[in-house]
């Protein structure tokens, strides 16, 4: 019996890993988890209940009750949800509960695709496929700028966004708990010179090679 096809896709902000992960999940007919939403979802559930997001015990209780259906809330990608996420993410009970949530999702019999910053190193170190998606800070800042402009924002400044991207990289890479770094056995996928179709083809080649290697054993 083949082990589940768990695909871990990690990388820094605006590298394109979310769009890539969704397409990979569709291609291989696997459930997909955008782990960037789970802290936002916990923060939103707390706010909706009128509870205090700075209360570690209360936040932990909501985190343990998180359901996949909570991730469908369209407000999770807004600024307020992001602020709530940053407040609840500092709590140990929340992190513990959400690590368990992610591992439970990844343990589905058919496998799963998860994207984030520590999937291949912390959440699913035994994943059959690990891909670390990256791009230069300048390219990622340009993508984020273009995305905001496309959504009608007229207060977008590329240099400010570039500074934010670099600061986020430094913060994510330097943190004590689950720093952003590729797993030793991850496939590095630099999308600086690739559009989404090119990145998708490259990712599928990695997955297909892993599947072919499994068939030979």
Q: Annotated binding site: which residue ranges?
A: 11-19
Instruction: Say how far apart CA 134 and CA 115 lie, in whole Å.
Output: 13
Count of C-beta atoms within a 10 Å radius of residue 205? 12
C-alpha dist (Å) from residue 188 to 11, 38, 206, 216 = 9, 25, 10, 24
Residues contributing to the annotated binding site for ATP: 11-19
Instruction: Say how far apart CA 142 and CA 11 lie, in whole Å.
Output: 17
Instruction: Say how far apart CA 114 and CA 31 lie, in whole Å.
Output: 9
Give the CA count within 13 Å in the CB-facing half-sphere of 98.
28
State whether residue 191 is helix, strand or coil.
Answer: coil
Structural contact between residues 190 and 14, judged by C-beta atoms closer than 8 angstroms:
no
What kind and span of H or E run contains 10?
strand 5-10
C-alpha dist (Å) from residue 44 to 19, 36, 100, 162, 214 = 23, 13, 19, 28, 41
Integer Rg of the chain from CA: 18
């Amino acid at each position: 019996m083949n082990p589940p096809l768990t695909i871990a896709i990690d990388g820094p902000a605006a590298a394109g890993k979310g769009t890539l992960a969704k397409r990979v999940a569709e291609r291989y007919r696997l459930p997909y988890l955008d782990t960037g939403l789970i802290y936002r979802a916990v923060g939103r559930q707390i706010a909706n209940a009128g509870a205090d997001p700075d209360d570690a015990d209360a936040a932990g209780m909501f985190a343990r009750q998180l359901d996949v259906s909570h991730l469908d809330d369209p407000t999770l990608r807004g600024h307020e949800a992001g602020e709530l996420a940053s407040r609840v993410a500092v709590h140990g009970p929340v992190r513990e509960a959400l690590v368990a949530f992610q591992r439970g999702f990844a343990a589905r019999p058919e496998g799963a695709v998860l994207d984030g910053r520590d999937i291949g190193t912390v959440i699913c170190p035994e994943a059959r496929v690990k891909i670390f998606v990256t791009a230069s800070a300048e390219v990622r800042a340009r993508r984020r700028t273009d995305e905001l402009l496309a959504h009608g924002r007229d207060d977008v400044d590329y240099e400010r966004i570039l500074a934010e991207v670099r600061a986020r990289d430094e913060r994510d890479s330097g943190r004590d708990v689950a720093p952003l770094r590729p797993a030793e056995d991850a496939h590095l996928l630099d999308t600086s010179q690739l559009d989404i179709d090119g990145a998708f083809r490259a990712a599928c080649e990695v997955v297909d090679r892993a599947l072919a290697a499994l068939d030979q054993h």
